[in-house]
Structure 1
Amino acid sequence: MKILSVNNRKLRRDFLSLPFTIYQDYPQWVPPFEHEMRKLIRGKGSQLLANGPHEFFVAIKGKKVVGRICVGKDEELNKAKGVNHAFFTLFESVNDENIAAALLDKAKQWAQERRATYLKGPVSPTNGDDYRGLLIDNFDDPPSILMPYNPPYYPKFFRNYDSYLKYYAFSYDPEKTISERELKLTEMARRRYKYRTENANFSDLKKLSRDLYEIMLNSMPDWEEDLVPPSYEEIYEMARTMKMVASPELVIIARSFDNRPIGFLVALPDYSDLIREIRGKLFPFGWIKLIASKKTIDKVRAAILFVTEDFRNKGVPAAMFVHAYENMAKNGYKHIEGSSISWKNTTMLANARRIGGRKYKTYLVFGKNISSRKLSLEEIYGRAAWKFNKVAGEI
C-alpha cells in the first residue's frame, strides 16, 4: 500500500470515484454533486481551501484506490479563533484499519510539517454541514439534504482521537409537533417583545442579503468553535442559491417593531432521494429531473437559524419555526428534520425539544493533539475555551 499526492488527472478521477465503490452497499448514501466535487479538487468553490495550504491524498493497494483524504490549514479561522489547527476533510476508506491509519498518519505528518499543534476532522469543505463530522448512530435512516453519512465502521478508525465537537439532528412529526400551549406561548412572546415573522422576499436579493448579513453579524456567538461570520458576498451567493432550491415560504425573517431584521430561519426541501436517482450528476439532464420532481418531495430540513443577541430568550426561534411549520403543513410535507445543533447550544437544544423535536442522529468531529506537549484548553478551543469546562479527552 502507498499514499500518493493527487497531482494528475487520473488520481483526481480516482479520488472522486472512490465513494461510489465504498457506498455501493449503502442505499442510504446520497452522492455529492459531481460538478461541485470537480471544482473542490481543483481548489475552487471552497472558502476553507482558499484560506490556506491544503493537499489531497489517495491510498492505493495493488492497483486499487482504497482510501482518500484532504488535509489543510485554515489560516483565517486559526487567526480569528486564536489557535494553530490543521484539518482533514473528504475522508473515505474501505473497511481496513491499516489503510485508515496510514491516511490519518499522512494527514498528521503533513500538519506537523506546517507546525500545527492540533488535527481535527472531518470538517466541511464548503463550511456547511456536508462532511462535517462522522455519523455515529442511526445508520438506518437516510441523511437529510447536505448532511453527512458514512459506513458504521468509520468511527472505529478514530479510537485514539478525542471528541472535539458534537452535533445533533432532530426529527419532527408534523402531526405531533407544536402543542396548543406552545402556540399560545409563542404568540404571547411575539406580542410582549413586539416582533413579527414573515416569508422572505426573493424579488430583492440585495435587500434580503443585507438583512441576512446584518443578522449574522449580530448573532453568531463567539463560542461557535469553527465558525466566523461570512462576508456580504458569501451571504449574497447563499441567497442566490436559496432562490433556486428553496421556497420563500421556507425562509422566514423575524423583524422588530421598528422593522429591523432580528432573526432568520432557512429550511430546504429534501432533494436527497432525487439526487440518488441522478447519482449526483446535474448535467446534462439531471437538473431537469430535480425540477420536474420537486413537487413530489415530502421531507424538509430546517438547516439554518440565527437570532440577534438582543432578542435571544424572547421566543424568536419558536416563532419562526411555528411560521415555517404552518407553511410546511400547508404544502404537504410529512417529515421535518432540524439539523444540526451544537452540543453546547443549550438554548437551541431546549427549543428543539420544546417544539416536539426528537434527537435521532449524532455527529462527531474528532481531534488529536499532534504536538510534543500537553495542550491547554485555549489551544484546543481558542476563544471558545470558556464553554468547555472539561478536559478535551473527557468531552
Structure 2
Amino acid sequence: MLKIVRVTSRLDRKEFTDLPESLYRDYPLWVPPFSHEMKALLKSRGSQLLANGPHVFFIAKDDNEVKGRIAVGIEQVMNNEKSVKHAYFTLFESVDDREVAEALLRTAESWARNKGMNYLKGPVSPTNGDDYRGLLVDNFDDPPAVLMPYNPPYYASFFDSFEIYLKYLGFQYDLANVISEREIKFTEIAMDRYKFRVEEANFRRIREVSADLQKIMEESIPNWEEDILPPTYDELYDMAKTLKLVADRRMVIIARSGERPIGFFVALPDFSPIIREIEGRLLPFGWYKFLRLRKSLERARAAILFVVPDYRNKGVPSAMFLRAYRNIQNMGFKEIEGSSISSMNLTMIANARRAGGKEYKHYIVYGKSLLKRPLSLSEIYGPAASRYVPKGQRNSERVLERI
C-alpha cells in the first residue's frame, strides 16, 4: 500500500538521497548531484533557501520500496520582501506512476495550506541556482550542462492541474560562429563611447571581487524580479571562493566604468561528463579522475551575467561575452551552454540571440492556488504583477505575457 513518510531518521535520509540512482538507471544523460552536497541538504545545511524558513522532506513508499520524494518549505525572507504567501517544493522525483506523484504533491499542498500559505510553486532550486529550477519539458536528447535540470519526459504530465508560474529558456552557442564581425565592431564603438572596460577577475584579491559582485547585483536585481533577492556579501564571498576552485579567471569577467563595477560574467567548464563518470562521488578516488579529466572537456557553461540598469543597452553584455568567448575558445572549448533566462527578461534574451545563442531547451516552474479560488496576479507575482496580463485560460493553465 502506498504511503507518504516524513523523513526523520538516518535511513529515511539515505532512501531519499539514493532514489535517483535507481530512477535514472535508464537515462544515461542524467548527471547525479554530488553525494556530499545532497547529504548536507538533507541535514538542512548549505542552502539559503532551507535556512530561510520551515521545510520538510517526504518519501513515497509502496511495500517498503521507495517510489518518489519531495521537499516542501516556505522562504519567509522572500515572502516578506515580495508581500506574498508562497510555499515551494523542490527535489521532486517519482517513478512513472501518477498515483505516486499526485500523493506527493497533495502532501506538499496540505503541508503548505496548514502553514497558512495560498500558493505552491516548484520545482525550485535548493541552492538558489539553476539546478532543480523548473522541469525540463523538451529536448531530452542533448546532454544537460552542469547544474542544469534534467528529468524524465513524463514528469510534465503530473502537473496538469498546475499553472505555468515561470518559464525559462536555455541557449546554446557554437564557438565557431559566436558574435559576428558587426557585433564586434559595435562593441568596440560602445566601449569607446560609454567609457567602460572589461577585465578578468583577480582571484588573488577575492574579497574585493566579492564586494564588486555584491554592488553589481544590488543594483541589477529589480524589486519586481521573480524569486530573486540580492545575496549577502558572505554568500558572494563563498561563491567567489568556489569559483576560484572550479573556474579559470579567464572565464570570470568584470566590466568597469572608471572604478565603478557595472557588470560581471561567469563561465565554468561543463564538468557534467566527469560527474557522470564518477557517479557524483568525489571520494575516495573521484577527485583524482576529476582533476585528470578536466582538460578533456569541450563544453563550457555560461552560468551568471548581471549588468547594472544604466549600462544594459550600452554594449556591456556583448563586451563581456566577447572577452570571455575569446578566452574560452583559446582554452580549447568548442561549445557554450548558456544559463537559463526567464521568459520575462526580454533584454537578456535579446542579448543572448545577438551573441549567437540558439534557443534549444525550455524549463517550467509550476504553480497552484491553495485556496478555493483563483489567486490575483498580485498574490502570485507580488511587485511583478503589473508586468503580466492574462491572455486566456487553457487546460487550467494561466497563459501570461509580459506587457
**Hey, what's the Cα distance between the residues in 1 that align with 2:247 and 2:386?**
37
**By how many angstroms is 1:386 displaced?**
1.5
**By how many angstroms is 1:312 displaced?**
1.7
Q: State, as a whole percentage, how many aligned pairs show the same letter.
A: 57
Q: Does 1:159 align with 2:169?
A: no
**Hey, what's the Cα distance between the residues in 2 that align with 1:193 and 1:156?**
49
**Hey, what's the Cα distance between the residues in 2 that align with 1:79 and 1:289?**
45
Match of 2:310 in 1: 310
Match of 2:399 in 1: 394
Corresponding residue SS for 2:266: strand
**By how many angstroms is 1:373 displaced?**
2.7
**By how many angstroms is 1:287 displaced?**
1.4
Deviation digits for residues 344-377 of structure 1 (CA, Å, limit 9, x no counterpart): 0001101111111100000000000111233110
5 Å-filtered alignment, 1:178-257, equals 178-256=179-257
Equivalent pairs, count: 394
Letter in 2 for 1:157: F
**Hey, what's the Cα distance between the residues in 2 that align with 1:223 and 1:317?**
21
Deviation digits for residues 13-42 of structure 1 (CA, Å, limit 9, x no counterpart): 100000011100001100000000000001
**Hey, what's the Cα distance between the residues in 2 that align with 1:364 and 1:288?**
36
CA RMSD, 1 decimal? 0.9
Letter in 2 for 1:382: G
372-381 vs 156-165, greater mean Cα deviation:
372-381
Deviation digits for residues 24-62 of structure 1 (CA, Å, limit 9, x no counterpart): 000110000000000000111111011111000000011
5 Å-filtered alignment, 1:54-203, equals 54-203=55-204
Corresponding residue SS for 2:203: coil
Letter in 2 for 1:247: D
Q: Does 1:330 align with 2:330?
A: yes
5 Å-filtered alignment, 1:324-363, equals 324-363=324-363
**By how many angstroms is 1:6 displaced?**
0.5
Letter in 1 for 2:327: N
Match of 1:288 in 2: 288
**Hey, what's the Cα distance between the residues in 2 that align with 1:310 and 1:173?**
30
Letter in 2 for 1:82: S
**Hey, what's the Cα distance between the residues in 1 that align with 2:223 and 2:144?**
29
261-270 vs 380-389, greater mean Cα deviation:
380-389
**Hey, what's the Cα distance between the residues in 2 that align with 1:205 and 1:2?**
49
Superposition TM-score, scaled by structure 1 size: 0.98
Structure 1: unaligned runs, 5 residues or longer? none
**By how many angstroms is 1:340 displaced?**
1.0
Moved >6 Å (runs of 4+): none
Letter in 1 for 2:310: D
Deviation digits for residues 292-337 of structure 1 (CA, Å, limit 9, x no counterpart): 2111111001110000122121111111001101001111111111
Match of 2:15 in 1: 14
**Hey, what's the Cα distance between the residues in 1 that align with 2:43 and 2:160?**
32
Letter in 1 for 2:107: K
Q: Does 1:46 align with 2:64?
A: no
Deviation digits for residues 248-284 of structure 1 (CA, Å, limit 9, x no counterpart): 000000000x221100000010000000011000122
Superposition TM-score, scaled by structure 2 size: 0.97
Corresponding residue SS for 1:361: strand
Match of 1:321 in 2: 321
Corresponding residue SS for 1:198: strand
**By how many angstroms is 1:221 displaced?**
2.0
Letter in 2 for 1:167: Y
Deviation digits for residues 108-160 of structure 1 (CA, Å, limit 9, x no counterpart): 00000001000000000011110000000000011101000000000000011
**By how many angstroms is 1:291 displaced?**
1.3
**By how many angstroms is 1:390 displaced?**
2.0
